[in-house]
Amino acid sequence: MSGGLAGLGRSVTLEVVAGHAGVSRQTVSNALNAPGKLRPETLRRVQESIAALGYRPDRHARSLRTRAAGALGYGLAPGGSGGLADRFLPALCHATEMSGRSLLLFTARPSREGLVAYDELLSHGVVDGFVLSHVVPGDTRHAWLAQRGVTFTSVGRIWSGEQPGPWVDADHAAGIEAAVRHLHSRGHRRIALLGCPPGPGAAEDRVVGWRRACRAIGLPDEELLLTRAVDGIAGGRAGTAQLLDASPRPTAIVAVSDDLALGAVHAITERGLRPGLDVAVSGVGDSAVCTAVRPALTTVRLPIEEMARRAVRLLDEAAVPVLESSAGLLLAPELIIRDSTPPPAAP
């Protein structure tokens, strides 16, 4: 434990403020927690004293009394979160503060072993709710928390059975749909999908979006070209190699992640073709690599900041412990059009 504030006469307490304003402690407390109970003139006098003395209620005393921590917990996977943290955390932190609480960061895997960390925080009274992200299919955290009546919101879906508790997610299918429609409007007709191995999750929802868009646009079934690859640059490269073997070759490849899209760019280049010009490419995520690579990658940008904000708002609304209610919120991603998706080259 550290030394804390060693400085000059530290604690300005309720008592001190009361003395300064010439009222009782109770009145000062009311000025803070129930201003309506005070006569306007008294209220003003107390507020002046508070300001003059720079009084801040001690959070621990308050929490001890009210039995509310006033803090939200967010579990970070030990290894890092794969680039998401950089947009998500500042937004989550800000949203939490706007709702009048603190954000406590802690280390916990999303897997079952991670639950002990959630349990600890709860039983020490350090937090009174959680924001969950990096949800894995079949995540056990939601049921565990809901069963204990703990407030929480999920950023991302479980993708299996009933999902306990409120959640926010990006409309992944709609994002891919936007990419397909964009390519179609640019004149592309053979729009292949570079997906991930089948299984419940956001990646599969993107495959659904592609199917839906192709059908809506009226692309004949024979044109539907789909390859699945393990997410990553290497996977994208291998998957694209297969797609490029098809004849006629697709003129556009819609990848379900930026890394897959990047792999596609490399595979296209290795064939002696020009990414963008000969084969258009789009990704998902709007990661830093999109603008680093040439041609700059068209991508589906997920509404990460908005998801963070909504997650906290849902938490506020779910003041009543949510046992069965399952309010979901689907947020539209945004298509960021860059150089990798021009009109197709004349044959």
Partner DNA sequence: CTGAAAGCGCTTACAG
Q: Where are the alpha helices (DSSP H) in 218-251?
A: 233-245
Separation of alpha carbons 254 and 177, rounded Å: 10
Residues 17-36 within binding reach of DNA (CB under 7 A) = 23-27, 29-30, 32-33, 36
Task: Select from 57, 137, 232, 295 the one that contacts DNA (CB under 7 A).
Answer: 57
Separation of alpha carbons 313 and 322, rounded Å: 14
Residues 170-229 within binding reach of a copy of itself (CB under 8 A) = none
Spell out a b/e string for 256-274, using b for 16 or more CB atoms within 10 Å of the CB, else e: bbbbbbbbbbbbbeebeee
Separation of alpha carbons 278 and 341, rounded Å: 10
Q: If contact means CB under 5 to 8 A according to the sort of partner, which of a copy of itself, DNA, none does residue 24 touch?
A: DNA
Find the shortest distance in angstroms from Cβ 129 to a copy of itself: 5
Compute CA 269 distance to the chain's CA centroid, rounded to the nearest angstrom. 33
Separation of alpha carbons 49 and 19, rounded Å: 9
Q: Residue 64 or 98: which CB sits closer to DNA? A: 64
278 in contact with a copy of itself (CB under 8 A): no
Q: If contact means CB under 5 to 8 A according to the sort of partner, which of DNA, a copy of itself, none does residue 42 touch?
A: DNA
48 in contact with DNA (CB under 7 A): no
Residue 36's CB: how many other CB atoms inside 10 A?
A: 6
- The structure tokens listed for 141 are 């955290």
Site mask for a copy of itself (CB under 8 A), range 92-111, x = bound: -xx--x--xxxxxxxx----
Amino acid at 109: R
Q: Residue 244 or 289: which CB sits closer to a copy of itself? A: 289
Find the shortest distance in angstroms from Cβ 134 to a copy of itself: 12
325 in contact with a copy of itself (CB under 8 A): no
Cα 158 to Cα 81, 139, 315, distances in angstroms: 18, 6, 18
Q: Residue 65 or 218: which CB sits closer to DNA? A: 65
Q: Which residues bind DNA (CB under 7 A)?
A: 11, 13-15, 23-27, 29-30, 32-33, 36-39, 42, 55-58, 61-62, 64-67
